[in-house]
Structure 1
């Protein structure tokens, strides 16, 4: 049985119910506090595992290694939640076992030493060496705090424990990690990488783990006389590799020249919506326009009170400005209003963001975040009217870059931990905190964010190419499988053969032929030899009534048996699994088939087992849904929205002919969906599939707003 860490029973007796009920309250507090930190550490581990494995794949010197690391990335993503769940279950079970300590009840504790036993594999030896080194580093660095925690637990429970039995000790934490990782189908190199990440993101913060646990116990009077040793500064993670995070590159880009003439043309259209920003006062003195400089100050004030993305109240910029103008007017005794040109800018920005926040290409999760950019964008437009005329304006480019990057983002529950969300949130917050009147910050943030997205695109392009290569290989394999099935059916259908021979050909020799074709091709010696052996096998079991042919069989039998065994070996079949067939084959060559292995007529065609496709009704060639499906092009972004709980954004990576299989990938380049053209057509028809416009968001918004303004002007 597979075992990542040796486990030995301490006592043998029947467990009694509710072990948690016996644990002191302070110990439950220690457990819950530690669980929070360990959960955070595991999340950091998995958040960074993707980057680490990608770098390994990028540096791989062979296609095999390249594939191994990419498959490991996929496996980790699929099994992450289960991994974290099992780890936390093991942690809670270990604390529960403390309630049984000293009561003659069974506990399972890993042996401290992970030295490999004689006869273990090389992989196990490598893992044992890595584990022993990790445990040694933790003991050397945090041994004092760990020892004090173990002593306090012993005093609290009235039972002497050692560090191995401490649920927060490195031995048990490693054991939890190894057990949680048993579901991962990864090779030893990936396991060692995961162990290194476990040390970096979990064990490196053990001093904080032990420090907080000791503080809780001391606060309740458990061995307060034990003096704590020096510790690292809280919040500073150890960096065993001596690596430091590199600063992102920065660069300033000049703003475009003012586009007053172009803005004047816009103003002619905006007259129809003027009067929407004014103080709510009774008509009195002549209105006094507020200067652009003072308006910018009011906006900078409002900028500090833009609600967080999670806030339920909508932030209406024009309404907020009206309230501010009212307060200023009351305080000054004058009716302060916004100048006509500035109001036009306010209305135009408000209409642009109204389009942006209703655009399907922007995921709902990011709309509130992008909506917080409204005041910074308004201030830029007030400072520089060329903002509306120049597509190369850094503020516009920043907005477009953000929108283009989030378009392929699919909803997730823990979006607040998503790297992309955090990066965009950082950009938005910096603008709200730092942008007063110097628009150079947009150039700076654009450069930084573009560097981030360029790196993401490089990674996703590489993964997407890997996905296409994998799918092409799969298609080739399917074609070969069909070729092998055709070969077998031509030789078996309609023939009367022993049941065991038919089963052997369909279950075992089909794999021999498949691998021979995939590895060497149809013109190869290996493929031809496999067919010849198949023909000789079928011929050999039909000779019981032919004495002359039987004598020929005796001459050819040794060669046939050797060819069969060589073929099975080439396909990595276990000799023990095929022993029964050769026993039966020997009997068939000596006598006619008996009742246990009677003759059957092969009537059903042989097919390789495959996942059946979702059945769909045929559609006429002129069906609108099929027309929409045919319009999809590689690189198109779509959203599958079957229901509120299942929304998937993905990109068409390739169309596999002749089956017309559409392969879709996520923003990261990994395959997430495969649909036939008919399935896509039906999804279009029922409204579950929509294409996303991938043009620059600001330009699309401006075009839509101008169209709306022209329509309003025509209706006057």
Structure 2
């Protein structure tokens, strides 16, 4: 860690404070309409008359009161530093102590709960920040007791600003509760930005986030959760015992032996899987004769695991290839749960840790898995090893966990080295890249015009989207290198013409034969274009699969008619104003897709970034994952580098041959128009399914 003097560190702290307070006030500028809608919903859902009266009162007060809140909040944030400087950080002003009125006490008690909820939501970020603040205090860059970044200090300013604007006690309490709901989501993002700025400044960088991190939780939360799960299991077992009676216990040993024998047989053979559908072999075991003679605890375990896999196989957020991988572990999971019910209540159980690790790795793919990725190949290898060797010994899972951890550490270091090299290359050519963007404007306009001229009426929407996006980039690349009239550009446009012809219906046998003979060469030329722009394998495969379907339909003389919605979308695209500027460059063996807004102004509303989206971009930190959508194909990328001026973001994924460099403004536009989405961290697949299964069965107990 680079040693820095107190003055430098102080400037870093001041910058973080200014950015955090600016973002918070900007958020409050936009929050009024959201709170009004929340108050309306609260009114409609309110059960108590007092709740509905408070909601109505808040709806009436907000239009005139809310415009005062953001300016007041700015003032409160500014004056708190002045007051702290006068009285000394951590000091208490005894002259301000007084008795609270009944109304003030009501607000105070209600806000204690809200503050606790907001603080809990921010906990994972504030823990790391507290350690950094202690470091800064030791180096005298901050004063002992400085409350600049405390959640309670920020909340007291929010509360004070709202108190000045809304006077009715019940309406004020409801307003602060609704703000608390919003702050539970928004405020952790503000702290993330502060932590990231300090990581960039080398202030305890060893506390940076790992790529393997999922949603962090603390030990107390895990213990409380285990207690709740164990309590639910105990409650359901007692209910079933009361139903079945003690007479069933005598048949347990034989029933368990028969079931485990059948499970061993099922485990030895892979479960039957049909495309898009996964067979729940645990449910098959649940319906067997052996299962009918089990005692309540074992029967409940069987029900939970059967329900668990039902939920996983029906989860739209889990890719089919991951479902197929998980399907191989059905009997293994059931055996592990039958041998030790701690499996459900303890996240540290070796089998649980291995299953949760699958979710950690699958974050890199989203809904489309690259089955050739080393990460997927390693998961498949370990799943097969566990499935074939597990005999009740938890050491199998311990070994798999250790092997996967070692693999992830090795790959993380390898990718970190790759990303450093890539960031160095982009940094070295950053100015050149900026100048090149200006030169690319003409090339992109020419490529857009070329594609527009040769588009044929009635071309399938999938083909038009492909030509206007991926293939436009190919044409643009050739125009940039050698001009519009060069042989490479001419050949690229010829491919576009041949592609459209290949999906038009063929009614004559001779035309069908000629088309069938020409397809291999056409597909080869398209693949070469994909290579030129570094398209990810998943994007390439998804388009090629659609193309084959369209070409087969054409050979059978079937015509696909676009719906009115598709036609309207096409007309909107053709009449649209400036679009994002895209170029491709290869330097030092590294291919980068550069995305920016066109220079020179003239942007229409759709291509102008919103302030809220720009704030979301500012709140991104290294390690965040985003989905980028192009022509219906999704590409998941990880934010691996941001330049010091935060004017350029670099996204990479080892599964793709091409990185993405994008300006904040261009990324904000993509967030606005839905062609980019921030991937929200979620609980691991098995954890979600276990809780869903237990909750479902408990409700029917």
TM-score bracket, shorter-length normalisation: 0.3 to 0.5
Q: TM-score, normalised by structure 1?
A: 0.37
Larger radius of gyration: 1
